[in-house]
Structure 1
Amino acid sequence: MVCCSSRSSKNQISNGGQDLRITDSVTYLAPASSNENLSPRMSPACVQPNDQIETQDSIGCFTVLMPLTFIVSIVLGFVLAVPIVLFMFRRTTSRGGVKDGLLEIIPHALMSEAEKRFFEVLEAAAPSFLVCPQVAMSAIVTQPIRHNPLRYWAVRSQKRLDFVLVDRETLTARLVVKLDDSSHRHRQAEDAKRDEVLTQAGYPVLRMPVHHNYNIRELSVKVCSALE
């Protein structure tokens, strides 16, 4: 038996009075003078390499698809889990606060009890000014970002000012009043930096210690002295 790997279907090879007619990977064996129908017989030597190639291709594709399928499954699971988590933590009302998403927002008093007492006395001691409590420092001072971006954000991130006296006619800030409680001892360095920034901006700072009672006349004198 002669095996040929030729792809042509018209080649003939004489072998002991028999013609071997070769087509694509199939060998037909028939006598040269016979008109019998050709019966195809698959040549194992010719078929085996093709089968091996197809098997190797299938294994390669399967090996590549497995990690891709695993990754896609994880991504789909994450995408499906996010809406469920958000639904569980959606907005609810609890004890007067609003729970929005994962953050619980509750109301906060504008002033403490000590600040409320001092606010009333300060209004009486400085009747020609508007007394504005809890003013953001960034509302009255700023730093051009083009000059020093780090300094700009350092100023913007400063906390609130206890009280700001505002001119009633021009509505411009004139004096910053700081009420120092017991925590001032632990924040002296921070308060000193804040006072320096305010002074550079042209705002005088009046610091008052916390007391249970205040003398209106004495406070009025201190306000006038700080404005000079």
Structure 2
Amino acid sequence: MSNIPRYFINKIKNEKPHKWMQVNQTLLMSTHPYVLYQLPDGTEVYGNSEKHLVIEPNDKSWSVNFFNPQTKEFEYLTSEEKDWVFCSSDLKRDCRYEFTEVEYTSTNGYIKFDIAQWLHKYVSKTLSLDEDFYFYGVVKLGNKEFELQRYFEDYASVEGRKQLYLVFKRENDVYNVTEELKRYFAKKKMPDDVEIVYSKIQKNEMTIEDFELWVRGDQ
């Protein structure tokens, strides 16, 4: 059986019965709880036991049959364009948030969220991330630290020490976390943007003492 990323498995489970999805060369289908299905290899699966089907490529057929209680026979389960959720060739349209990417090449991948780029756009370009973000969820501004882990730990995990992406299971969780972070930083007095400070230094409008305060986040 193919290694299907859990992001897709979770998504197809939540779809209405008989919705289809393609991930690379493998098909996924949501089942109806009271229907008996027959896979291309002849395996029979009851909808009450499996919320979704994984249909592997088959030289003879990709068809899924269902048992018709009237005819007492298995019949071909047809599908229309409206029955398809999306396919792996057009994944990004399903992830509506900035700095996100559906990671479907890894069985551990769900939605990758570039938290650094998001912070730089919506909070301050002066914020930096290092290994402390991986271990403690801490972002830094000079010597000042902001602990963010409690705002995302129920929704996401940090992918790695170097990459520092957040990995989400569900799209709505990206929205939940970013909204929480917006509220958190709205209460903080963040320093001016880097370009503005650099301009002030060039024009001799900022003293060394003021610059040190800015780096610490005290101004």
TM-score in terms of structure 2 length: 0.23
TM-score in terms of structure 1 length: 0.23
Of structures 1 and 2, the one scoring higher in RCO (CA 8 A, sep 6+) is 2
Greater CA radius of gyration, 1 or 2?
A: 1
Greater fraction helix? 1
